Amino acid sequence: MKNLKNVILLSVITGFCFSSAYAQNACSNAALNKPATAVSSYSIEIPSRAVDGDVNTNWCTPGFEGWIQVDLQNQLSVDSLKLHVNQFSPGNTIHEIKISDDMENWILVDTLSGFTFEHQILTVNFHPALSNVRGVMINTISSNSWVAWYEIEVYASSPKPTIIQNGDMLTSSSTINNQWYFNGNAIPDATSQSYTVNGHGDYQVGVSNEYGCESKSEILTITDITLGINEMALMNVKMYPNPANDHILIEGVTKGKIEVLNLQGQVIGCVNIADQKTSVNLSDLTGGVYSIKITTRDGSVVKKLLKQ
């Protein structure tokens, strides 16, 4: 439990809100059909009925206090809970939220107290997400009716990825489940751990977990920089005029290719370099901002172009 205690001490819990309408979560419920146990049960209202995905069934214990816990079976990063209230008569209640990394030792992370009522939904958010969580316990210490829940939902996020840049190659800290973004838009088929920059702009990588929850990296902005192994060989590459009308000239390289990219990072034109000066026809392009990527055996350089 040592690691988990450190996580809790560093976490800021934003609290909870009361809601009478179900708020959809883009992720799936990590507690669904997971093993659940409780202090006791009344008749057929057993713990598994609180994690079966059916808000018309419930768990209940014949008493005014009691606990129920869910084994997530893996250590997850939990960022929110949704608790569906089953309460015979409205009134003030107190519920403790506890978590565990081993299903044996538990840490209190929040206490919900206030006026609650039948079919209410209590939403608990954690910022940042609580790491290494295997078990979640709801321990009711005060209620004006028998303790019961229709459904206990747990939502888990992926750890926030980071981007490592090496020339024009971007690499995610996650080896699996990556999706690369350019200027806020998902790049089609860009799901590998690494991605080659196609133009200047804002890059991010998102990583999804088994429950469909995605966490995105910080934005990495690529500007007018030289990329590649032998950067000195490309220092003298010139592009002019800029802004341009129908043509631009690329000067300083004799072999390679020139690619024109739109704001989505898509290649919309390509010219082979065959001379010290290479002309690129822009007459078919509408006015706007484009990226010009010049690639040789020494690496690549990306330059911003304004087409008038």
Contact between residue 83 and residue 121 where contact means Cβ atoms under 8 Å apart: yes
Residue 14 CB contacts under 8 Å (≥ 6 apart), including other chains: 125, 126, 127
Spatial distance between the Cα atoms of 271 and 122, rounded to a whole number of angstroms:
59
Spatial distance between the Cα atoms of 97 and 108, rounded to a whole number of angstroms:
6
Q: What are the beta bridge partners of residue 71?
A: 135
Spatial distance between the Cα atoms of 285 and 240, rounded to a whole number of angstroms:
17
Domains of the chain: 2-157 (2.60.120.260), 163-222 (no CATH), 226-307 (2.60.40.3080)
Q: What is the pLDDT of residue 263?
A: 75
Kindly report, residue by residue over 172-187, the tens digit of the pLDDT. 999 999 999 999 999 9
Pick 306 or 122 by higher pLDDT: 122
Q: Which of 10-14, 135-139, 155-159, 160-164 has the highest mean pLDDT?
A: 135-139
- Residue 305: how many other CB atoms lie within 10 Å: 22
Residue 55 CB contacts under 8 Å (≥ 6 apart), including other chains: 84, 150, 151
Q: Is 153 helix (H, G, I), strand (E, B) or coil?
A: strand
Q: What is the DSSP string of 67-109?
A: EEEEEEEEEEEEEEEEEEE--SS-EEEEEEEEEESSSSS-EEE
Torsion, Cα of 95, 98, 103, 104 (10° steps)? -90
Kindly report, residue by residue over 219-260, the tens digit of the pLDDT. 999 875 545 445 555 667 889 999 999 999 999 888 889 999
pTM: 0.61
Spatial distance between the Cα atoms of 224 and 300, rounded to a whole number of angstroms:
11
Q: What is the pLDDT of residue 224?
A: 57
